[in-house]
A and B are shown apart, each in its own frame.
Chain A
Amino acid sequence: MHRLSADRRHRVRFTLNGKPVEADAEPRMLLTDFLRHELGQTGTHVGCEHGVCGACTIEIDGVPARACLTLAVQADGATIRTVEGLAPEPGRLSVLQDAFRRHHALQCGFCTAGILMSLDGYLRRHSAPTEAELREFLGGHLCRCTGYTPILAAALDAAKTLREVPAHA
């Protein structure tokens, strides 16, 4: 196993939203801090730093993960997607993002990035979720503004649109 020295910085390279990125990190640096402060990608938010709130959820090698429970050096060589990679182009929103806007499924927007990242992958794997399934799946995210009702409505609406016009994804 590759051993890292605690007292020096190590080069970390991975693919972020389709582009190669690299920067140095101490072995103890959290992936959240690395994304936000080393790479300047501040869309991933830090809500609790103990893995409960879900605000920092990103996709690592196609699987949703808590960036606050991941060390930057663990991401070396991985393929990572964050909220900055969801919109198809500047000025246009993805189907899911647009559904969130239409349903007022966000207020302060702080937890939103994590919820979008969880849902984006989930809706790719589950094209016709029920509200009960979505409630269970989204139980890993805390939102203090919306009361969740509009988030569920937006997710159901996005799933419907994606079924009807899959190319929109």
Chain B
Amino acid sequence: MSELPTSWCGQSVERVEDAALLTGRGRFIDDLGVRPGTLHAAILRSPHAHAKIVAIRADAARALPGVAAVILAEDVTALPASLVVGVKAPIECWPIATDRVRYVGEPVAVVVAASRYIAEDALDLIEVDYQTLPAVVDPLAALDGTQPILHDGLRSNLASERRFRYGDPERAFAEATHRIAVTIKYPRNSCTPMETYGLIAEYDAGEDAYDVTANFMGPFSLHAVMARALKVPGNRFRLRTPPDSGGSFGVKQGVFPYIVLMGIAARVAGRPVKWVEDRLEHLAASVSATNRVTTLRAAVDADGRVRALDWNQIEDVGAHIRAPEPATLYRMHGNLGGAYDIRNIAVRNRVVLTNKAPTGLNRGFGGPQVYYALERLMQRIAVILKLDPADVIRRNLVPSGAFPYRTATGAIYDSGDYPLAFEKALTDGGYAALRQRQAEARAQGRLYGIGMTAAIEPSVSNMGYITTVLTPEERRKAGPKNGAQATATIALDPVGSVSVHVSSVPQGQGHRTVLSQIVADALGLKPSDVRVVAELDTGRDAWSIASGNYSSRFAAAVGGAAHLAAEKIKAKLAKIAAAQLNVPPEEIEFAGGRARARGNPDNNVAFGRLAATSHWSPGLVPEENQALRETVFWSPPQLTPPSENDEINSSLCHGFIFDFCGVEIDRVTGALRIDKYVTMHDCGRILHPGMVEGQITGGFAHAVGAALYEEYSYGPDGSFQTGTFADYLVPTTMEVPTPVILHIETPSPFTPLGTKGVGEGNCMSTPVCLANAAADALGASDIDLPLTPAKLAALFHPAEAAPPATVRPQPVKTGKGRALQGQGQAQANAAPADVWRMLLDPKTLEAIIPGCHGVEKLSDTHFRADVTLGVGPVTGRYRADIKLSDLDEPKAVTLSGTVTGALGDAKGAGHITLTPTDTGGALLAYEYDAEIGGKVASIGGRLLDGAAKIVIRQFFEALARHTGGPARTGLFARLFGRGA
């Protein structure tokens, strides 16, 4: 037999996952069959950011053929408990709105029916009366004391506050030559996996047990939260994951409230329930990164050396503190000094509640927010002290040879050589040439900037870091939380082939391939000899609270556990082989599919035959050495709970990243073009270079999106404005350049394979690197994401000139929802008095209002109408409630009122004037001013203005036609009609 490579790890082998995925044979959640009789769920969601639920009428929905049940809040609150909240505060968090809705998209009712189509039909039949409340949107305003309070148990919207002090920051600030600060507002964004949430839930009344299959990604600490919410012990809540999952990036952690909700729906309906989230639901109401307002101050020496940092972070977690929040705020706590040797750090952390969707895991988790502040600060230090930003970074890096390095806030940086990686990146990445390129561009008058970032990429989260939000006393009461159990199981079957199971729950990262490499290396096999199963079943498989696919834990923790399990079974096999080959066990080596005596390869036994021994001839093997199946649990001892002084080693591994880039900003449009991007990584030992590269290019693309385009946008009234991929702009091939990727490898001494995590780093480093470049190009000191052309252009274009006096000023807005304004004219062939009569006649109105089903006259000045309106692809039925005022018969009238429907609502007013014409007709002039909320504001925003103009013009044209006036029906007239 020919010799095989000594190590499969380190090679970019083809992925075992790919053949099925490339041929359409993947098994994603919506591809799995369901039991006969399974019902399909659809969720009615709040159109309001903040409102009291006054009444819900669901009888018509229940009566619709095919509908099995409508689940309302009382069904949910009657059965289980609230989801556990991670801070000590009197807050409940239910998977459905109870007394009030607190964000657009919050579930209000669930319909389960024979098909999803019928379930959605039934949603349209549910009527909810809301009493809207003022919304709290801005996190700073949430703290000002004048805003409504979201949760009755709280006295304000501040849900948690903690202060920390490490070293002697006060003294460092007092002694420093410079005190330099930045304030940043990190926006909301999300990595939006291409596959949305999906699940199939079943309830067994006989055993009082739930069985749910969901594309949940962990952490499985949430299993305990879900079981507790369903009020069953963990062994009666069986959670399984499908074989394939279409990306997650943290986001699929957020399916867990729906697992509880649909578990309850299955219990109420008495049948299995399947639910697949749609994209609007996902964008509006799954999870996102937190938005955060940070003021970061530094005490700086004359040469740019940072002596102390003072962090003031205000974290906006949305309407509920949903587990595991406020983890985003604490994940980086051990790393608040970044890649720098800074011994004095003060921190003030506040968590606020606002009328936005609850936040959760999202690639980079806490890193983008921290590094945006820290690295903007480093750039500002360079600008203010007139230094090259590379020199500021160089002077502050943790020095070579300092590892393991204990940070001021308690992290242990396991390994690295930051100065080496940094200098190598500058040299190999061509920093000097880029400076030259910038000088040439600037000589031509172009806006060209260079940015850079150093960052620590933490991986393998300490399950105890979240408890840093509690005071030491609260932690003592709650009991210590720490560690990060990883597990792997290796089984040998009766023909001696090797199976591996892990609880890593991959969503496309190729875990099965890498594990086959790791185990093949340990056992002297080929990867194709090892079959790996990575779907998880909590009722059957080994798992623990840290299981799942987050905090980049796979290569370090799960790969390490698989290696340890393979070594454990190998040691047993060596003893069995030793007996068969008559040599001591330590003389046995595994290579080329055989176990052999070291130095005498002819004395060997085939691996398959050896591995089958404990099945066929257990009598020949001592009981303690049976080699059938080994499960290893591994938790690194370095992950201890927070200390009495609040020091926390928040992660096991700490990779190093140094990025620099050149960008050019278009002088006219403000559009930013990435000219060159260099990213240096030290992620320890690399197991599969192709996959590491894919993690970096993928993370980089997410970061480009976050930096330049993506933001979950909310109106001042809390309306959600980015509910489609045409509004929430995910970058494509046209926007994502190919970065230059560089590596050094310093293996981690804390992990079995020397590996560290990789994949989240660029989400932390790249947004601020691009922002630093943009700031450099424009000479800007304050710059926030996303770096849209409009935002950048505003930094260098002079203010717009005032409009010429002939242009009619627009009505002044009070400013709440998405605003619609317009005006227009129409000619009627009837005298103003006749037109006036028609305007007040329900029969005429019914005939001329576009899409009108009926008009009811409640009084002389109060009308109610039922209309169908279409905005782009979204057509829905609305109820209009219109009151007339300022009647000046037959010259002028003001209409004001509301329009409500399943797709949204509008509030507004219009003013109509009638002027007699020379020919005996009337000129109708109108202007309107409205605010739109709900689903239609989320998905049709860009179309609303046009649609409203068309509908309103149609109304007046129909009125004109009704009077025999000129009806503009030609295409040109319809498109370019006067006014409007």
Contacts and interface: CB of A to CB of B under 8 A. Distances in A.
Interface residues of B, number: 55
Contacts of A102: 14
A144 B245 CA distance: 13
B30 A42 contact: yes
B24 A41 contact: yes
A83 B26 CA distance: 11
A134 B508 CA distance: 24
Interface stretch (A59-67, A104-112, A121-129, A160-168): A104-112
Interface in B694-741: 694, 696-702, 724-726, 730, 732-734, 736, 738
Given A101-B15, A111-B194, A145 B508 contact: yes
Given A136-B734, A146-B701, A116 B22 contact: yes
Contacts of A141: 732-733
Contact of B22 (A45, A82, A100, A148): A100
B354 interface: no
Contacts of A86: 22-24
7 contacts: A46-B30, A50-B724, A50-B939, A100-B22, A104-B15, A138-B733, A141-B732
A147 B21 contact: no
Given A29-B117, A47-B194, A134-B733, A106 B22 contact: yes
Given A36-B30, A143-B194, A148-B697, 20 more contacts: A47-B194, A50-B873, A52-B725, A82-B24, A86-B22, A93-B19, A101-B18, A101-B22, A106-B21, A107-B508, A108-B193, A112-B21, A140-B732, A142-B730, A142-B732, A146-B698, A146-B701, A147-B700, A148-B736, A149-B738
Nearest to B697: A147
Contacts of A4: none
B326 interface: no
Interface in B1-53: 12, 14-15, 17-19, 21-26, 28, 30-31
Interface in A1-56: 26, 28-29, 36, 41-50, 52-53, 55
B659 to A, nearest CB: 14
B18 A106 contact: yes
Contacts of B701: 143-144, 146-148
A157 B738 CA distance: 17
B246 interface: yes
Given A84-B24, A109-B22, A104 B694 contact: yes
A80 interface: no
Interface of A: 26, 28-29, 36, 41-50, 52-53, 55, 82-84, 86-87, 93, 97, 100-102, 104, 106-113, 116, 134-136, 138-152
Contact of A152 (B246, B725, B733): B733
A148 B694 contact: no
Given A83-B23, A110-B28, A144-B192, A135 B508 contact: no
A34 to B, nearest CB: 12
B26 A48 contact: no
B409 interface: no
Contact of B279 (A50, A139, A147, A151): A50
A93 B736 CA distance: 28
Interface string B102-128: 000000000000000100000000000
A145 B698 CA distance: 5
B874 to A, nearest CB: 10
B42 to A, nearest CB: 13
Interface string B257-293: 0000000000000000000001100000000000000
A83 B24 contact: yes
A148 B31 CA distance: 25
Contacts of A49: 278-279
A107 B759 CA distance: 12
B657 to A, nearest CB: 16
Nearest to A134: B733
B690 interface: yes
Contacts of B893: none
Q: Which 6 A-B pairs have the closest CB atoms?
A: A43-B24, A108-B508, A109-B21, A110-B246, A147-B697, A147-B701
B725 A50 contact: yes
Contacts of A142: 194, 725, 730, 732
B521 interface: no
B244 interface: yes
B15 A45 contact: no
B732 A138 contact: yes
B22 A112 contact: yes
Interface string B193-218: 11110000000000000000000000
Interface string B683-695: 0000000110110
